[in-house]
Amino acid sequence: MTILYNRVALIGLGLIAGSMSLAMRRAGVAGEITGYARSSETRNTAREIGLVDHVCDTALDAVKDADLVVLAVPVGAMGTVMAEIAPALKQGAVVTDVGSVKGDIFASVLPHLPEQAEFIGTHPMAGTEHSGPNSGFAELFDKRWCLIVPPEGASETEIQRLEKFWRALGSDTKRMEAEHHDLVCAVVSHTPHLIAYTMVGVADDLSRVTDQEVIEFSAAGFRDFTRIAASDPTMWRDVFLSNKDATLEILGRFTEELFALQRAIRIGDGDHLHDYFTRTRAIRRGIIEAGQDTDAPNFGRHSDAT
């Protein structure tokens, strides 16, 4: 594969950035990879495992001479980090992010972008409940979507290069406008996470079900809620606060649907329940047909999977 960026700087060294580094090495699209994390413990771990070519002790050092800078920090920190690194960005540098919100990121990042640099938002629709420099793996993005969200006036040449970069890392790419991106993600990611957090919290609050029973007897449904609810709390706090309007809109729709199901159960309307579950089952089949999951028993997990 042809090198697309001579030097790539990763700001933040968690699951996504770590997986990007490993996927870049696999694809051979970066000449050199530098990295920085605010935590000295994270930087030391990244050095020990050789996560990137050079772990830097400041963000300014990491982005110096970088052709591509990836902001892989919580959404709430994007603007502060952009303001910090702006003076060190080289002429023609491209800055991107991997956050799951775009409107708020654009509002906080673009005012600090220097004239000599370009910003193009990206959002790899991939992840696990794990975090930290040890959690990354090169296959994370394989056959997963990466949404490309360019602000108005972005260079078409650089957009295409970034699309080629993400495809080299294993992703399929699709361009999307920021407002629509945030609504889509509120439906497919943000609200499901909030529901998972709520469901696990409800189970924790039910004094009639002991903690040990919740742990011992968790079948697949509740177990999957706990997997989602184990995601990084800082990241998800920032996501909900940053994508407030879209999330509240979808939560309103969810509440209406929930009330309708509640009424059907109360009055014994089996036809309504059957029709509703038939429709949602078809959506699940569509996800499998699109290659975004497997229909293998137990969702393809091994018996010892966590």
Question: With 70 as the cut, is the pLDDT of residue 200 above it?
Answer: yes
- pLDDT tier at 235 (50, 70, 90 boundaries)? confident
Q: What are phi and psi of 97, to 5 degrees?
A: -130, 170
Do both 24 and 98 map to the same domain? yes
Question: With 50 as the cut, is the pLDDT of residue 95 above it?
Answer: yes
Say which CATH number the domain at 202 has: 1.10.3660.10
Do both 154 and 207 map to the same domain? no
Question: With 60 as the cut, is the pLDDT of residue 115 above it?
Answer: yes
Query: Does residue 306 sit within a domain?
Result: no
Cα(133)–Cα(173) distance, integer angstroms? 25
Question: With 90 as the cut, is the pLDDT of residue 242 above it?
Answer: no
Query: Does residue 277 sit within a domain?
Result: no
Among candidates 52, 1, 31, which has minimal Cα distance to 168? 1
Do both 88 and 113 map to the same domain? yes
User: H helices then E strands: how many in the chain?
Assistant: 13, 9
Q: Which of 84-93, 125-134, 139-148 has the lowest mean pLDDT?
A: 125-134
Question: With 80 as the cut, is the pLDDT of residue 77 above it?
Answer: yes
Question: With 60 as the cut, is the pLDDT of residue 304 above it?
Answer: no
Predicted local confidence at residue 282, as pLDDT: 80
Query: Does residue 293 sit within a domain?
Result: no
- Identify the residue with better confidence: 70 or 228: 70
Query: Does residue 191 sit within a domain?
Result: yes
**Average pLDDT for 123-144:** 90
Do both 204 and 247 map to the same domain? yes
Range of the structural domain that residue 193 is part of = 180-268
Among candidates 247, 284, 267, 234, which has minimal Cα distance to 14? 234
Predicted local confidence at residue 215, as pLDDT: 57
Cα(103)–Cα(181) distance, integer angstroms? 9
Say which CATH number the domain at 131 has: 3.40.50.720
- pLDDT tier at 302 (50, 70, 90 boundaries)? very low
Predicted local confidence at residue 288, as pLDDT: 66
Predicted local confidence at residue 303, as pLDDT: 40
Do both 164 and 215 map to the same domain? no
Do both 163 and 204 map to the same domain? no
Among candidates 120, 16, 107, which has minimal Cα distance to 67? 120
Predicted local confidence at residue 31, as pLDDT: 97
Which residue in this structure is represented by tokens 């490309």? 148
> Could you tell me which residues come within 8 angstroms of residue 220 by beta carbon, excluding any fewer than 6 positions away?
298, 299
DSSP three-state, residue 66: coil
Predicted local confidence at residue 305, as pLDDT: 37
Do both 187 and 230 map to the same domain? yes
Predicted local confidence at residue 292, as pLDDT: 67
Task: Name the region of 93 (left: φ>0; alpha: ψ -120 to 50; beta: rest).
Answer: beta
Do both 135 and 187 map to the same domain? no
- pLDDT tier at 197 (50, 70, 90 boundaries)? confident
How many independent structural domains does the chain possess? 2
pLDDT in tens, 55-68: 999 999 999 999 99
Predicted local confidence at residue 127, as pLDDT: 79
